[in-house]
């Protein structure tokens, strides 16, 4: 009886030692990816632009740089348009986002650059719209 118990315990011990060498370490020890990049206009960084993947939200620094670890469920990285700027568009579709599948997912560091164009604003029109209406007394 003792011999049978010893053999069972030995089989469990050696079997578990053998199978731990074949454990999928890539599944258990996934390396974290990083999304980083810049938001630029005419080569200069734009400060405080919100960048997100739908789960994580960061703001750009004074040089327009951002960096974060994307969520595994994230599909795209997008930015919110700061006032006075416009997106590039592709066939009439605003490109304020980049799909993560468009970028090489095998790399641990993903670099995404967003370029915005400064819009020319008609300040006289804005001034006319923000003035208080005058009341006329007859």
Alpha-carbon span 48 to 44, nearest angstrom: 13
Residue ranges per structural domain of the chain: 29-121
Task: Tell me which of 1.10.260.40, 2.60.40.1120, 2.70.98.60, 3.40.1280.10 is the CATH number of domain 29-121.
Answer: 2.60.40.1120
Look up residue 27 and give its two tokens: 């599944």
Alpha-carbon span 56 to 67, nearest angstrom: 10
Q: DSSP E strands: which ranges in the chain? A: 34-41, 44-45, 50-52, 57-59, 65-68, 76-79, 85-87, 89-90, 93-94, 97-99, 109-118
Interval 81-138: pLDDT, tens:
888 888 877 888 878 888 887 766 667 778 888 888 888 765 555 555 555 556 666 5
pTM of the model: 0.62
């Amino acid at each position: 009886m003792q011999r049978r118990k010893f053999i069972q315990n030995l089989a469990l011990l050696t079997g578990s030692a053998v199978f731990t060498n074949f454990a999928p370490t890539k599944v258990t020890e996934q390396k974290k990816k990083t999304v980083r990049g810049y938001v630029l206009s005419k080569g200069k960084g734009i400060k405080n632009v919100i960048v997100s993947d739908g789960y994580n939200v960061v703001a750009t620094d004074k040089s327009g740089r951002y960096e974060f670890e994307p969520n595994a469920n994230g599909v795209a990285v997008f930015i919110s348009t700061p006032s006075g700027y416009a997106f590039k568009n592709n066939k009439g579709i605003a490109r304020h986002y980049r799909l993560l599948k468009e970028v090489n997912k095998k790399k641990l560091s993903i670099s995404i650059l967003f370029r915005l164009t400064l819009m020319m604003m008609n300040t006289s029109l804005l001034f006319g719209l923000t003035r208080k209406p005058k009341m006329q007394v007859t």
